[in-house]
Amino acid sequence: MVNLFEKLNLHSYRLRKFKNKFFYILCLICVIIAIVPLLSILFEVIVRGAPAINLQFLTGKGLRGGIGPAIQGTMILIGLTGAIGIPIGVLTGVYLAEYGTNKYASWIRSINNILTGFPSIIVGITAYSLIVVGLIGGFSPIAGAVALSFILIPIVARTTEESLKLVSNSVREASMALGIHRWRTIISVVLPSAKGGLITGILLGVARIAGETAPILLTIMGSSFFFGGFNESMDALPLRIFINSQLHTQAAQTQAWGAALVLILIVLTLNIGVRLASRGRYHNKVTR
Amino acid sequence: MDNIKIQSVNLNAWFGTKQALKDINLSIKANAITAIIGPSGCGKSTFIRTLNRMHELTPTAKMSGQILLDSQNIYDPIVDPVMIRRRVGMVFQKPNPFPTMSIYDNVAAGLKLTGARKDKNLDEVVKYSLQQATLWDEVKDDLKKPGTSISGGQQQRLCIARAIALQPEVILMDEPTSALDPIASAKIERLVVELKKNYTVAIVTHNMQQASRVSDYTAFMYLGNLIEFGSTKDIFESPKNQLTERYITGEFG
């Protein structure tokens, strides 16, 4: 009896163990499927782009010169878009998380979720018809930044809301019970507690907009020259890559690969830099 | 009874449609400790949260009746709840120091963030508050460390110091020792007794020994009703109500 029992048990144990292993391997295979293309892209960009990079490439202009205007343009776009999009996005997230118990908030939340996945070409056309044609009458870095803000705002708003909701309610209560006003509680107690999540969200958004091509194609158009004013066309790295990739000369192709590598490096540096700079004194300390 | 600090008059409270407090009339005396006891869900936490208008921060919460602080109704439309909370401080069940602030900043937070610092010397207020909370000697060399880096019992005394820094008139404590070990609890109890020299204290507790050790008056609540209120001695030695007697003898609850 004992033997039989053990045998049966062992059989189902082996089956369970097999199922366990099977599931684990299935997950692992999917991870590999997901990560191999990413790594190969990175590898390809580094191998083909790295030879192109030198000081002249980074600062010069033109096909024989370098991608200076594109780097400058991307920096300007990131700065302008951040200046427009981050405050609006963060405050929208604050509204949704801290005041969002009414029915309007759930509407805003749904609309925001739709906007997060909105086709960027449509954002580009909207900014084109409203600002480029309607307001300014020409291509403009501001039109580009507004278009990119449409993409940045929903991402920042959503991640802000989610990271604020992770802040324990007891922290809010502690502050309110001291007779600290609600707005002050949010700014001085809740937002600092959610800082890590906030910064991650902003970085995700900035990385996303740095690589967007469609909205800026229709708003800043691309240029071979450095920044010439807020009512002139401007270059940016995704545009440079897009335009050069359509030219069939070796020089243009190499420059496009180099620009791709620079774009990746900018996003990466921004990521690491902001993370280091914002690592607060009490980073990762969790309330008991 | 002329030295009543805070008093509830015909107080009812609801969460949604569920009534949590039923017609509570209770007077809390100045410079004394009033304990509120009763089984879980009897409304004792809800009651003290109506005393500093924290109750209304819960989305579905409603209330009716009056709370008189020095004979003034704190639910009068002209009263700013923020000002009430500065006069009536609160310590919570779980220690909740601000996670992004140092020990020093936790204590100073009330003064800094309410704009009440004016010409007060922050260093002195912080030191005084930590001394009052009997925490100064343990943390005086670590004031710059995070408020969450000290032990649970120390964190709770830090929260008491944080409340004291604003010089409130009343301190409400919602089961302040239920998340602490017996030694840390004993320290808090001694501290609570010290506090009544300068403050009026209302303490909610699950622990009947604690109520009998520290309090001067005890209120027993059951299912949202105030069953019995009197001096702690009377409540524990000769309760008038049978429910009270059954509860304090451990028959239910």
| Average pLDDT per consecutive 10 residues, chain B (253 residues; last block may be shorter) | 86 94 95 94 94 92 94 94 94 94 95 78 92 93 94 95 94 93 92 93 93 95 95 94 91 77
Provide, as residue numbers in chain B, all residues whose Cβ is less than 8 Å from the Cβ of A171. 96, 98-99
d(CA A238, CA A236): 6
Confidence of residue A288 (pLDDT cuts 50, 70, 90): very low
Query: Is residue A221 included in any domain, yes or no?
Result: yes
Query: Is residue A42 included in any domain, yes or no?
Result: no
Q: Which domain holds residue A203?
A: 71-236
- Interchain pair B110, A178: CB under 8 A: yes
Gap from B16 CA to chain A (nearest CA, Å): 15
Query: Is residue A232 included in any domain, yes or no?
Result: yes
Nearest to A171 among B98, B146, B166 (CB): B98
Nearest to A178 among B114, B146, B148 (CB): B114
- Asked if the C-beta of B176 comes within 8 angstroms of chain A's C-beta atoms, the answer is no
Tell me the domains of chain B and their CATH numbers.
4-248 (3.40.50.300)
Query: Is residue A287 included in any domain, yes or no?
Result: no
Domain count, chain A: 1
Average pLDDT over residues A70-79: 95
Mutate to test the interface with B, among A164, A166, A178, A279 (most CBs of B within 10 A): A178
- The β-bridge partners of B222 are B225
At A1 the pLDDT is 54
Q: Could you give the ipTM of this predicted complex?
A: 0.90
At A62 the pLDDT is 86
Which positions in chain A have a beta carbon within 8 angstroms of at least one beta carbon in chain B? 101, 168, 170-171, 173-181, 184-185, 188-189, 192-193, 195, 280-282, 285-288
Scanning every residue of chain B, which has its alpha carbon at the shortest distance from the alpha carbon of A168?
B96
At B90 the pLDDT is 96
Scanning every residue of chain B, which has its alpha carbon at the shortest distance from the alpha carbon of A167?
B99
CATH of the domain at A124: 1.10.3720.10
Q: What is the pTM of this model?
A: 0.84
- Interchain pair B148, A282: CB under 8 A: yes
Scanning every residue of chain B, which has its alpha carbon at the shortest distance from the alpha carbon of A174?
B96
